[in-house]
Amino acid sequence: MSSGTVYKNYINGKWVESKSGKTFENLNPADKTDLIGVFQKSNAEDVKAAIDAAAEAYKKWRLVPAPKRGEILYRVAARLTANKEQYARDMTREMGKILIETRGDVQEAIDMTYYMAGEGRRLFGMTTPSELPNKFNMTIRQPVGVCAFITPWNFPMAIPSWKMMPALICGNTIVIKPATDTPMSVVNLMQACDAEGVPPGVVNMVTGSGGALGDALIGDDRVKIVSFTGSTEIGRKVSEACAPKFKHVCLEMGGKNVQIVMDDANLDLAVEGALWGAFGTTGQRCTATSRLIIHKDVAQKMTAMLVDRAKALKVGNGLDESVNMGPCVNESQMNTVLGYMEIGKKDGAKLLCGGGRLTGGNYDKGYFLQPTIFGEVTTKMRIWKEEIFGPVLSIGTFSSFDEAIAMANDTAYGLSASLYTRDVNKAYAAMRDVYTGIFYVNAPTIGAETHLPFGGTKETGNGHREAATAALDVFSEWKSIYVDFSGTIQRAQIDNAD
């Protein structure tokens, strides 16, 4: 995409300017002089127009046979595949993560789109016997209506696809507000839908920032489902705003994910896992490893191995294939993370590497931080408890397996956790006892696949899951149907009693 290009909102199958007449610039966090494009600064009127379109389109889309909806999604998936490299490059430029990761992000959207396209020929309900004679019972999924999506910048195409594709296959229509930092990736997704014949009004996008747009989306009675990924703080507000009208709301929020390393673990593997889990996506994943707890007998050895590797990570512009870690997404995020580095130092954690900003040369053009590791972190410290969303890893130690499980669960969040051990009994006990939505054995806390449910317990979520068939439960409502072909009145619980 050429610099300075103006990108419009996508409403009712058309690319339109915001009624506000205002725009904003999207800059590369690795190089502030690199302009990705100019995007619409939308207002509540634009949101209303998008909901108008989605509400109108819903009348027809819900009646399109699901396998036909699936055929359109197959074509969208093929287009995403054909454009994968371009989309990945656009994404690296707009939010900074390195190319292998942005290719993975686009691939996750491709996988989700194919998966949900296939659901067009399943969307299984069940048939089950009636307790009464000459009566037939079954369940079907019904679509709900217009869905509103508020999506984050860390997985700019994958997470929108997690919400869009299951919603669409179930027969809903959608309005999406991408994160302010990553509108380009959702423009790319909209272009793919547009080119492959998703009917006008079925998918709509309004770009712009924060609160006012969210309020307009959530406040409109025609929006029946709100799906949000972001901080627990904003998620709570979304949930409260949805409560008076009992709007369905699906929330994916914070994490404080732990990697546990037992004394019998393969330490080389555990080091690789911690490095990838903590510093992949510059630590800006909900699933990022932000706590590492190591058995005291191997803690010193593993810590030294890990710190050596972290110091050797090459930080820079993600378009350079030799770089291991990109910048923070924007200045304010960088400052938040720098703030946590200071809190860690002040609270008495031992700084083992990093601890500040990278400056000089090309680093001055962007928001680059050093991969940072703190040792001797205790469970009372803020860096142990709070989500940082940056390249900061806190290390603690334990003496027994039971203590490790207790430390793992000692958090307000419950997204992902992992255990490194060669002891199968401990592995199974941990699978059972660590209270998270996702658990890994001998693998890092990141790396969820699209055909398994994604989400977390406690303050990470509100009981829903994205991805897999679990997502269908968010975007459809069950209807139980009873067909009585006896020709008589048959009263359940009464006429079948002895």
Q: Which residues are catalytic?
A: 252
Least distance (Å) between residue 330 CB and ligand UN1: 17
User: What SS3 class is residue 337?
Assistant: helix
Q: How far apart are CA 23 and CA 39, in angstroms?
A: 5
**Nearest alpha carbon to residue 357 among 334, 329, 330, 326:** 334
Looking at the Cβ atoms of 276 and 475, the one nearer to ligand UN1 is: 276
Least distance (Å) between residue 23 CB and ligand UN1: 28
On whether the CB atoms of residues 457 and 437 are closer than 8 A, the answer is yes
Looking at the Cβ atoms of 44 and 441, the one nearer to ligand UN1 is: 441
Query: Which two tokens mark 346?
Result: 């002040």
- Chain residues in the site for ligand UN1 (CB under 6 A): 108, 154-155, 285-287, 446-448
Which residues, 6+ apart, have CB-to-CB distance to 377 below 8 Å?
A: 291, 344, 349, 383, 384, 394, 395, 396
Looking at the Cβ atoms of 145 and 447, the one nearer to ligand UN1 is: 447
On whether the CB atoms of residues 482 and 137 are closer than 8 A, the answer is yes
User: What is the DSSP code (8-state) at residue 62?
Assistant: T
Least distance (Å) between residue 454 CB and ligand UN1: 7
Q: How far apart are CA 457 and CA 317, in angstroms?
A: 35
Which residues, 6+ apart, have CB-to-CB distance to 277 below 8 Å?
A: 257, 259, 287, 288, 289, 418, 444, 445, 446
Query: Residue 401 corresponds to which amino acid?
Result: F
Least distance (Å) between residue 229 CB and ligand UN1: 7
Which residues, 6+ apart, have CB-to-CB distance to 364 below 8 Å?
A: none
Least distance (Å) between residue 285 CB and ligand UN1: 3
Query: Which two tokens mark 129?
Result: 């016997």
Looking at the Cβ atoms of 75 and 285, the one nearer to ligand UN1 is: 285
The beta-carbon contacts of 430-436 under 8 Å, at least 24 apart in sequence, are: 430/260, 430/401, 430/405, 433/405, 433/409, 434/405, 434/408, 434/409, 435/409, 436/257
Angle at the Cα of 79 from the Cα atoms of 78 and 80, rounded to 5 degrees:
90
Least distance (Å) between residue 128 CB and ligand UN1: 35
Looking at the Cβ atoms of 201 and 390, the one nearer to ligand UN1 is: 390
Q: How far apart are CA 90 and CA 112, in angstroms?
A: 20
Least distance (Å) between residue 135 CB and ligand UN1: 45
Looking at the Cβ atoms of 155 and 401, the one nearer to ligand UN1 is: 155
**Nearest alpha carbon to residue 421 among 258, 265, 263, 302:** 265
**Nearest alpha carbon to residue 314 among 277, 342, 275, 285:** 275
Looking at the Cβ atoms of 108 and 220, the one nearer to ligand UN1 is: 108
The beta-carbon contacts of 121-124 under 8 Å, at least 24 apart in sequence, are: 121/66, 121/67, 121/70, 123/66, 123/169, 123/170, 123/472, 123/476
Looking at the Cβ atoms of 220 and 466, the one nearer to ligand UN1 is: 466
In degrees and rounded to multiples of 5, residue 250 shows phi and psi of -115, 120
Looking at the Cβ atoms of 287 and 421, the one nearer to ligand UN1 is: 287
**Nearest alpha carbon to residue 188 among 262, 276, 102, 246:** 102
Least distance (Å) between residue 287 CB and ligand UN1: 4
Which residues, 6+ apart, have CB-to-CB distance to 167 below 8 Å?
A: 147, 174, 225, 227, 475
Least distance (Å) between residue 277 CB and ligand UN1: 9
Residues in the chain: 498
